[in-house]
Structure 1
Amino acid sequence: MAFGSVVERNVQRPLMRLISMGGAPILQQLHLEERLLRRTSDNWCIVNDGTAPPTIVMGVSGKVSELVEVEPVLRDNVPVVRRFSGGGTVIVDQGTVFVTFICNKTAVTGLQPFPRDIMSWTGQLYDYAFSHRKFGGNAQSITKDRWVHHTSFLWDYDVKNMNYLKNPKRAPEYRLARNHTDFLCRMNEYMPSRSVFTEGLIAALSEHFTIQQTGPETALSHDNDFEPSTKLLSPQDLQDIISSKESSTVQRVPGWPQS
């Protein structure tokens, strides 16, 4: 897996604050990202190595009934989060490595703040696929002056967890209507360790930015009254989706509170 180096070394680089976390819950990570996007003016990179428990994460406009197998999710108590950014639906766990960039529009010289352009730039830092199989899923949120690009990398994954997701009705042409297991691959089949990946990423990023390690507690000190739009869907939210699809007399899933 190649890491890019595409800027001249004598150019003064902007500052990027790097937050490294291990196993932070994905809901906490997304709340942090949204706060840093909307309430700070710094450039940030967040690396989170794994998360627990296994959690489904949806884009802001995704329809649960079209993307999630709701009844098994309720039965097995799988959390479902609707994040603040666009993009598709993933299930993440301890085998997922997360990388997020939160940048000012002027942070990368010549970069236009559009998804395709951001993808092109991050593609110089790391890959998203090996051959015809994908191991990285990404999404963006773009505001007036800033943007966020976050990626979940499948270092490993549990095949049975993919059964909680439906094949999306709208998918990129290159997916070729393949199911999740035929479409995806594991990074650990191609790289020796997670640290090789993260260290290579930071080295490539340092060609663009001056990197400054920052603790999560420092980042969290910004604006404690911020109310994120990323939400954990409640069991009742999911049960209502089943009810709206079937009938008002649908039987409740055992173990969840009655309305």
Structure 2
Amino acid sequence: MYYLVSSSNDPYFNIASEEYLLKNFTEEFFLLYINEPSIIVGKHQNTLSEINLDYVEANGIKVVRRLSGGGTVFHDSGNLNFCFIRNIAANEDISFKRFTQPIVNALATIGIKATFSGRHDLLVNGKKISGNAMHVFKKRVLSHGTLLYNSQIGRLSSALKSNPSFFQDKAVKSNRSRVANISSFLSSPPSIEEFTLQILGHIREVNPDAKPYTFSGEELAAIEQLQKEKFGTWEWNYGYSPKYVFRKDGLVSGKTASLSLKIEKGRIKTVELKSEILPAELVKALSGKLMDTFHERKDIKEKLQQFLKENELKSIKMEELLNLFL
């Protein structure tokens, strides 16, 4: 087995690294990394229904869809992420408990008694300190998880405070749990850098054949290309969401408005708007204008501005109309 501690805090790069290690090697790996503030969405989730978009955009929080299923999690500089990539002989070798037990044992060496939950979480005193997910590729499995060490819990709650009532879909939903930082259970908590070395030290101790691995320049270029073409794109992080219906009511220029959108592969397919602000023929024109536009603020704003200008609708407040769409 090889081990790596990523020197990057870029979530796009680190998530791309996981896929690269999984799909381009036969060797087994243990990877540790810490991301800058970011939201990591499960592969089969509707991203917009899982996040507080206004908060995310205002605070410059990156949003990344990972390879594995499961729910949405928040990363920051107080959260250590671990990833095991192992070869498997049969389906019975795929077990969350098998892949999290080494972490449970590592935590025990510093006095943290963690238990495995049936929801693929690790708990301490009934509170979640780790969420885990898995992805199988051929005869290899990627199992990764979070370790909340001294994360900003309040920021986590704000970033993931969504309004799912706006969305109708069959996407996987996140189950929110009571969470806690590992450091809160330690009388003299070390820094997260020291904590990282403690976790790595235990993994190396129980895997005496483990060797350090460093990406070559060619491998780094391949990961950066994967990041650019997949994990850093709106199409993957938002557009990959299952098809859904978005409904929202609000006020536009002092009049009530009710909007319904059908979204497929991240693109608007139909627009239904009920309001006195626009007659039926202009609603139809608006629907045509927005057809195949990404359900994304920048693209929608551009099309709405064009629509209002072309139809000389100066009385309609642009920002209020835009707010109806997101």
- State the Cα deviation string for residues 99-157 of structure 1 (Å, max 9, x = none): 11111126xxx971244543456544444321101111111111221111111211122
Relative distance call for 1:237 and 1:195 in structure 2 (3 A) is: closer
CA contact (8 A) 1:83 1:230 kept: no
- The answer for unaligned runs of 5 or more in structure 1 is 1-15, 173-178
Q: CA deviation at 1:203?
A: 3.2
Matched, 1:184 2:228: no
The within-5 A match list for 1:78-89 is 78-89=61-72
Task: Please give the alpha-carbon distance, in whole angstroms, between the structure 2 residues aligned to 1:230 and 1:122.
Answer: 30
Task: Tell me how far apart the structure 2 counterparts of residues 155 and 219 of structure 1 sit (CA, whole Å).
Answer: 33
**2:124 aligned residue:** 130
Amino acid at match of 1:160: R
> Does the aligned pair in 2 maintain the 1:82–1:232 contact within 8 Å?
no
Q: Which residue of 2 aligns with 1:51?
A: 35
Match of residue 10, structure 2, among 13, 16, 25:
25
Range 221-230 or range 160-169, more displaced: 221-230
Residues 23 and 226 (structure 1), Cα distance of their counterparts in 2 relative to 1, 3 Å cut: closer
Q: Which has the higher helix share?
A: 2
The one-character-per-residue Cα deviations of 1:8-27 (angstroms, maximum 9, x if unpaired) are: xxxxxxxx111112452111
The amino acid of 2:27's aligned partner reads D
Task: Name the structure 1 match of 2:199.
Answer: 201
Q: Letter of the aligned partner of 1:198 in structure 2?
A: T
Deviations 1:88-109 (A, max 9, x none): 1011111111111111126xxx
Aligned to 2:211, what secondary structure does the other structure show?
strand
Cα distance in 1 between the residues matched to 2:55 and 2:99: 36
Instruction: Map 1:96-111 to 2 at 5 A.
Output: 96-105=79-88
| Fraction of identical pairs, as percent | 17
Give 1:59 shift: 0.8
> For residues 146-165 of structure 1, what are the structure 2 equivalents within 5 Å?
146-158=140-152, 159-165=154-160
Supply the distance in 2 between the matched residues of 1:88 and 1:138 (Cα, whole angstroms): 9
TM-score, scaled to structure 2: 0.58
The one-character-per-residue Cα deviations of 1:179-210 (angstroms, maximum 9, x if unpaired) are 65xx0001121242234533332333231351
Of structures 1 and 2, the larger Rg is shown by: 2
Q: Give the C-alpha shift of residue 77 in structure 1.
A: 3.6
Sort the Cα spacing of 1:257 and 1:212 in 2 relative to 1 into closer, same or farther, 3 A. farther
8 A contact 2:131–2:146 mirrored in 1:
yes
Q: In the TM superposition, what whole-angstrom CA distance separates every residue of 1:22-54 from its partner, at most 9, and x where no partner exists?
A: 452111011011011001111111111x322x1
In structure 1, the residue matched to 2:169 is none
Q: Which amino acid in the other structure matches residue 51 of structure 1?
A: N
Q: Runs of 4 or more off by more than 3 Å in structure 1?
A: 74-77, 114-127, 166-172, 216-219, 221-230, 232-238, 240-246, 252-257
C-alpha RMSD of the superposition:
3.9
Paired AA for residue 202 in structure 1: L
Shift of 1:71: 3.5
Match of 1:68 in 2: 51
Q: Does 1:245 align with 2:247?
A: yes
Alignment check: 8 A CA contact 1:46 1:100 kept: yes
1:237/1:140 CA distance change after superposition, 3 Å: closer
Name the CA distance, whole Å, in 2 between partners of 1:77 and 1:35: 26
Alpha-carbon contact 1:56-1:80 (below 8 Å) kept: yes
Shift in Å, 1:226: 6.8
Decide whether aligned partners of structure 1 residues 233 and 256 sit closer, same or farther in structure 2, where only a CA change above 3 A counts. Answer: farther
> Paired residue for 2:27, among 11, 25, 42?
42
Count of residue pairs brought into register by the alignment:
230
TM-score w.r.t. length of structure 1: 0.71
